Amino acid sequence: MKVILYMAISLNGMIAKSDDDTSWISKEEWDSYSLAVRTAGNLIVGHRTYGILTKQPEFSEFKDLKLVVVAQEDFQTLAQNHLVAHSPKEALKLLGNFEQVVVAGGGALNASFVEENLVDEIFIDVEPIVLGKGIPLFRDKDFAKNLKLLGQKKITDNEIQLHYEVLK
């Protein structure tokens, strides 16, 4: 199973403003992200990210996906095919029949997957904005991982996508 971390970030590495606002992320970036998630057929997110995503009108694109929410406590999900796991490894076990899995935030969940050496590739879509305060791509963990650039492409005239392999 290939584990892919896929995130949009500000130029200075934030995935959201301090108040969880992600309105600065472009439609083109959402379309790129949505295609990757729908192609994989699944998505892993943290509890807070789940709450944010489910309020977005575009979230309906993911209604048929197998979605796993990593959370400390059990809670009620919105759909029968949405499951709760208590760790990154448990989330991957729940999606064991997929060839590829997409992990998409938040910052603490991203850091947990990378720290536990579970991520194989990273897609970063860089938005043309700098945020003074916000939620960083990786939060509350101390690690270092070497990466190999596999590719880059323009999403729009102002946005780029970076694609890395995590060297293990």
pLDDT at position 59 over 90: no
CATH (residue range 2-143): 3.40.430.10
pLDDT at position 145 over 90: yes
**pLDDT bracket for residue 98 (50, 70, 90):** very high
Whole-angstrom distance, CA of residue 145 vs CA of residue 140: 15
Q: What percent of the chain lies above the pLDDT cut of 70?
A: 100
Q: Which of 25-34, 57-66, 125-134 has the lowest mean pLDDT?
A: 57-66
Asked whether 98 and 42 are in contact (CB, 8 A), the reply is yes
Domain boundaries, the chain: 2-143
Q: Quick one: average pLDDT of 14-38?
A: 95
